[in-house]
Chains A and B, each alone.
Chain A
Amino acid sequence: MADLTQSLTAPAPPAGALRRLLRRKLALFGLAIIALVVGGAIFAPWIAPFAPDEQLFEGLTLFGEPMPPGGDFLMGTDLLGRDLFTRMLYGAQTSLLIGVVANGVALLIGTFVGVLAGFLRGWVGAVLMRFTDLMMAFPALLLAICLAAIFQPSLWIVAMVIALVNWVQTARVVYTETTSLSEREFIAAERTLGASRTRILFKHILPHLVPTLIVWGTLGISVTVLLEATLSFLGVGVQPPTPSWGNIIFENQTYFQAAPWLVFIPGAAILLLALAFNLVGDALRDVLDPTQRGND
Chain B
Amino acid sequence: MTTAQSATAPSGAADPLLSVRDLTVTVKDRGIIRPLVADLSFELAAGETLAIAGESGSGKSITSLAIMGLLPNNVSVTSGQALLEGTDLPSLPERQMRAWRGARVAMIFQEPMTSLNPVHTIGSQMTEVIRAHEAVSIGAARAASIEALRKVRIPEPERRMKQYPHELSGGMRQRVMIAMALALRPSLLIADEPTTALDVTVQREVLELLRDLQKETGTAIILITHDMGVVAECADRVVVMRHGRMVETAPVNQLFSAPSHDYTRALLAAVPRLGTGARRAKPLPPVTNAPVAKLVNARVHFDIGANFFGRPTHRVHAVEGISFDIRPGETFGLVGESGCGKSTVAKSLAGLVPHQGHIEVDGQALTALTTQGKRDICRNIQMVFQDPMAALDPRMTVGEAVSEPLLIHGIGTAKERHACAAELFDRVGLTPEQMSRYPHEFSGGQRQRICVARALALKPKLIICDESVSALDVSVQSQVLQLLEELQRETDVSYLFISHDMAVVENVVDRLAVMYLGQIVEMGTRDQVFGDPRHSYTKRLLDAVPIPDPARKRQPYARPTTEIPSPIHRIGTPPDRLKLHNVGDGHFVADDH
Chain A residues positioned under 8 Å from B385 (CB to CB): 185, 188-189
* Minimum CB distance partner of A11 in chain B: B397
* 8 Å CB interface, A236-250 against B: none
Chain A residues positioned under 8 Å from B409 (CB to CB): 194
* Minimum CB distance partner of B398 in chain A: A9
* A-B complex: 7 closest residue pairs judged by Cβ atoms: A194-B378, A185-B390, A8-B418, A9-B399, A194-B375, A192-B383, A189-B391
What's the nearest-Cβ distance from chain B to residue A122, in Å? 14
* Minimum CB distance partner of A195 in chain B: B408
Q: Are A192 and B382 in contact (CB under 8 A)?
A: yes
A14 at the interface (CB under 8 A from B): no
Q: Are A9 and B418 in contact (CB under 8 A)?
A: yes
Chain B residues positioned under 8 Å from A191 (CB to CB): 350-352
B393 at the interface (CB under 8 A from A): yes
* 8 Å CB interface, A204-230 against B: 204, 207-208
Q: Are B378 and A192 in contact (CB under 8 A)?
A: yes
Q: Are B438 and A291 in contact (CB under 8 A)?
A: yes
Q: Total A-B pairs in contact (CB under 8 Å)?
A: 95
Assembled-state Cα–Cα distance A193/B352 (Å): 11
B400 at the interface (CB under 8 A from A): yes
Q: Are A207 and B414 in contact (CB under 8 A)?
A: no
Assess A8 versus B438: contact at CB under 8 Å? Given A185-B385, A194-B379. Answer: no
Assess A185 versus B387: contact at CB under 8 Å? Given A193-B405, A199-B408, A290-B438. Answer: yes
What's the nearest-Cβ distance from chain A to residue B402, in Å? 10
Assembled-state Cα–Cα distance A247/B376 (Å): 61
Q: Are B436 and A194 in contact (CB under 8 A)?
A: no
Chain A residues positioned under 8 Å from B458 (CB to CB): 193
* 8 Å CB interface, A177-205 against B: 184-186, 188-196, 199, 203-204
Chain A residues positioned under 8 Å from B441 (CB to CB): 293
What's the nearest-Cβ distance from chain A to residue B214, in Å? 39
A152 at the interface (CB under 8 A from B): no
Chain B residues positioned under 8 Å from A257 (CB to CB): none
Interface centre among B393, B407, B421, B438 (most CB of A within 10 A): B393
Query: Can you give 13 A-B contacts (C-beta < 8 A)?
Result: A4-B407, A7-B407, A8-B414, A186-B390, A186-B393, A188-B347, A188-B385, A192-B378, A193-B378, A193-B405, A194-B405, A196-B408, A208-B395
Assembled-state Cα–Cα distance A190/B383 (Å): 10
Q: Are B417 and A8 in contact (CB under 8 A)?
A: yes
- The interface size bin for chain A is 20 to 34
Interface centre among A188, A196, A199 (most CB of B within 10 A): A188
Assembled-state Cα–Cα distance A6/B395 (Å): 16
Chain B residues positioned under 8 Å from A208 (CB to CB): 395
What's the nearest-Cβ distance from chain A to residue B37, in Å? 25
Q: Are A193 and B417 in contact (CB under 8 A)?
A: no
* 8 Å CB interface, A15-68 against B: none
Taking beta carbons and an 8 Å cutoff, which residues of A are in contact with B? Answer: 3-4, 6-9, 11, 184-186, 188-196, 199, 203-204, 207-208, 289-291, 293, 295
Q: Are B392 and A192 in contact (CB under 8 A)?
A: no
Assembled-state Cα–Cα distance A6/B407 (Å): 12
What's the nearest-Cβ distance from chain B to residue A218, in Å? 20
Q: Are B393 and A204 in contact (CB under 8 A)?
A: yes
- The interface size bin for chain B is 35 or more
Partner of A192, one of B350, B376, B394: B350
Q: Are B403 and A8 in contact (CB under 8 A)?
A: yes
* 8 Å CB interface, B299-357 against A: 347, 350-352
- Besides the contacts A189-B454, A194-B408, what 9 more A-B pairs have beta carbons closer than 8 Å? A3-B407, A186-B394, A190-B393, A191-B350, A192-B382, A192-B383, A193-B408, A193-B454, A207-B395
Q: Are A9 and B394 in contact (CB under 8 A)?
A: no
Chain A residues positioned under 8 Å from B382 (CB to CB): 192-193
What's the nearest-Cβ distance from chain B to residue A57, in Å? 62
Q: Are A291 and B440 in contact (CB under 8 A)?
A: yes
Q: Are A7 and B383 in contact (CB under 8 A)?
A: no
Assess A7 versus B391: contact at CB under 8 Å? Given A193-B404, A194-B405. Answer: no
* Minimum CB distance partner of B417 in chain A: A8
Q: Are B435 and A291 in contact (CB under 8 A)?
A: no
Assembled-state Cα–Cα distance A4/B350 (Å): 25
What's the nearest-Cβ distance from chain A to residue B108, in Å? 28
B279 at the interface (CB under 8 A from A): no
What's the nearest-Cβ distance from chain A to residue B524, in Å? 29
Assembled-state Cα–Cα distance A191/B354 (Å): 14
What's the nearest-Cβ distance from chain B to residue A100, in Å? 26
What's the nearest-Cβ distance from chain A to residue B346, in Å? 10
Contact with A along B423-447 (1 / 0, CB 8 A): 0000000000001101011000000
Q: Are A7 and B374 in contact (CB under 8 A)?
A: no
Contact with A along B454-479 (1 / 0, CB 8 A): 10001000000000000000000000
B30 at the interface (CB under 8 A from A): yes
Q: Are A8 and B400 in contact (CB under 8 A)?
A: yes
Chain A residues positioned under 8 Å from B454 (CB to CB): 189, 193
* Minimum CB distance partner of A295 in chain B: B30
Assembled-state Cα–Cα distance A191/B381 (Å): 12
Partner of A189, one of B381, B392, B403, B418: B392
Contact with A along B74-118 (1 / 0, CB 8 A): 000000000000000000000000000000000000000000000
Assembled-state Cα–Cα distance A6/B415 (Å): 11
Chain A residues positioned under 8 Å from B350 (CB to CB): 191-192
Chain A residues positioned under 8 Å from B383 (CB to CB): 189, 192
* Minimum CB distance partner of A188 in chain B: B352
Chain A residues positioned under 8 Å from B378 (CB to CB): 192-194
Q: Are A186 and B392 in contact (CB under 8 A)?
A: yes
* Minimum CB distance partner of B414 in chain A: A8
What's the nearest-Cβ distance from chain A to residue B303, in Å? 16
Chain B residues positioned under 8 Å from A193 (CB to CB): 378, 382, 404-405, 408, 454, 458
